[in-house]
């Protein structure tokens, strides 16, 4: 029997090496490696065109992008966010000296529950930072109506959401600023990376100054900046990968639907409610009836070299060393019962069938 290869929760999609090398050779000729070079500019333009965006500032990673967004909007005070997220959302709020206030999530969509936002607003509230969790759009209409009513800024943590659309419009076009991640584990990646999408030219220019230590076009310092510049090398990976964006996105949807079909005989399992067809199906989260059931399945899969992931456990409001606990019972409960199964472009149908067979056997035993 051939040795079985491990199956991880994800695997980056990488363009053929020679296609990356073609971009890299431009860097080796021009010697422009950083400082908003031609490849970064091309990647920004190509992504804007592909996604239908007016503004985009590519940055080093999504976490820094969130920090830069907070800085660009001059936010100081409480930011209402979701506890069902990766710790990066919390890191960004804390690093900028703001205070996270946790709004519990909807039991079906796993996104911030708009019914619970207004009761959290105080005179200190300055913004709402929802997450389009697993790439599934939040209730943007209601969130933005609440923000308008209370004069709050909205920063969407759209780390998972590249390719998600709402009524044909990129999800990145919502909020004062949307921030995505271009990390290796995302549908479209530059290795490490992120991007800030502002809703005005003025804000976009400010973000560009912030990512370049605060310099304006005359090299004067006009704002507190940082070093948020992505290198041309990462842009080369991104430009090569961009050619495959549509193929990878389409494959995700087919695989998501196949998993749902293969798992349809298991009434113990529940799934994220996806209300809009145009989601990117970035992850395949499965909700178990109990944590014990989840652990049993996770251990059985791991024993067979299959490594699903508990995104996002624990609920971040429980990280007592970096945040003040505020109860969010839905998030705390769901985060214990959600497991993401492997989902990526190179994953074979036979491998998905093997994963499902093991889940089914484990639940039956």
User: Interface residues with ligand T4K (CB under 6 A)?
Assistant: 8-12, 61-63, 85-86, 88-89, 131, 157, 159-160, 181, 183-185, 194, 307, 311
Least distance from ligand T4K to the Cβ atom of residue 14, Å? 9
CB of 159 to ligand T4K, least distance (A): 3
Nearer to ligand T4K, 131 or 334 (CB): 131
- For ligand T4K, which is the closer residue by CB, 88 or 263? 88
Smallest distance from ligand T4K to CB 57, Å: 14
Beta bridge partners of 15: none
Residue number of the CB closest to ligand T4K reads 62
Backbone angles phi, psi at 34, to 5 degrees: -150, -165
- H helix intervals, the chain: 17-30, 38-51, 62-72, 87-95, 140-149, 201-211, 232-242, 245-262, 291-303, 329-337, 349-364
Q: Say if CB 69 and CB 155 are below 8 A apart.
A: yes
| Least distance between ligand T4K and beta carbon 185 (Å) | 5
Q: Least CB distance from residue 76 to ligand T4K, whole Å?
A: 21
Q: Which is nearer to ligand T4K, 309 or 363 (CB)?
A: 309
Count of alpha carbons within 13 angstroms of residue 338, beta-carbon side: 25
Of 174 and 311, which has the nearer Cβ to ligand T4K?
A: 311
Would you state the structure tokens that stand for residue 174, as one six-digit string?
């919502």
Is residue 302 within 8 A of residue 192, CB to CB? The reply is no
Q: How far is the CB of 103 from ligand T4K (least distance, A)?
A: 15
What's the token pair of residue 3? Answer: 């040795």
Q: How far apart are CA 181 and CA 133, in angstroms?
A: 13
Nearer to ligand T4K by Cβ, of 7 and 101: the residue is 7
What single DSSP character describes residue 112?
A: B
**Residue (64 or 146) nearer to ligand T4K, CB:** 64
For residue 5, cis peptide bond before it (omega within 30 degrees of 0): no
Which three-class secondary structure string do you get for 12-23?
A: CCCCCHHHHHHH
- Give the shortest CB-349-to-ligand T4K separation in angstroms: 20
Q: Between residues 62 and 225, which has the closer beta carbon with respect to ligand T4K?
A: 62
Cis omega (within 30 of 0) for bond into 314: yes
């Amino acid at each position: 029997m051939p040795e079985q290869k491990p199956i991880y929760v994800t695997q980056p999609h990488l363009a053929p090496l020679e296609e990356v090398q073609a971009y890299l050779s431009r860097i080796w000729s021009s010697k422009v490696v950083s400082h908003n070079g031609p490849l970064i500019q091309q990647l920004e333009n190509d992504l804007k065109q592909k996604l239908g965006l007016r503004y985009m500032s590519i940055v080093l990673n999504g976490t820094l992008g969130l920090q830069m967004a907070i800085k660009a909007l001059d936010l100081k005070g409480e930011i209402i966010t979701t506890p069902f997220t990766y710790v990066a959302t919390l890191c960004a709020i804390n690093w900028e000296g703001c205070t996270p206030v946790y709004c519990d999530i909807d039991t079906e969509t796993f996104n911030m529950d708009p019914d619970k936002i207004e009761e959290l607003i105080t005179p200190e509230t300055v913004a709402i930072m929802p997450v389009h969790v697993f790439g599934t759009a939040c209730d943007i209409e209601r969130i933005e109506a609440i923000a308008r009513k209370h004069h709050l800024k909205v920063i969407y943590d759209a780390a998972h959401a590249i390719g998600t659309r709402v009524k044909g419009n990129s999800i990145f076009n919502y909020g004062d600023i949307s921030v995505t991640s271009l990390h290796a584990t995302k549908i479209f990646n530059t290795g490490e990376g992120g991007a800030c999408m502002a809703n005005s030219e003025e804000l976009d220019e400010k973000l560009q100054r912030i990512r370049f230590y605060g310099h304006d076009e005359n090299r004067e310092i006009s704002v507190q900046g940082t070093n948020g510049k992505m290198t041309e090398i990462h842009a080369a990976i991104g430009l090569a990968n961009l050619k495959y964006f549509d193929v990878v996105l389409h494959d995700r949807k087919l695989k998501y639907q196949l998993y749902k079909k293969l798992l349809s005989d298991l009434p113990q399992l529940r799934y994220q409610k996806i209300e809009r067809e145009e989601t990117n199906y970035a992850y395949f989260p499965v909700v178990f009836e109990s944590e014990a059931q989840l652990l049993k399945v996770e251990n059985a899969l791991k024993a067979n070299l299959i490594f699903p992931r508990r995104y996002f456990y624990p609920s971040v409001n429980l990280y007592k060393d970096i945040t003040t606990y505020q109860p969010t019972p839905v998030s705390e409960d769901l985060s214990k019962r959600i497991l993401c199964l492997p989902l990526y472009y190179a994953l074979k149908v036979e491998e998905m069938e093997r994963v499902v067979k093991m889940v089914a056997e484990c639940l039956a035993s």
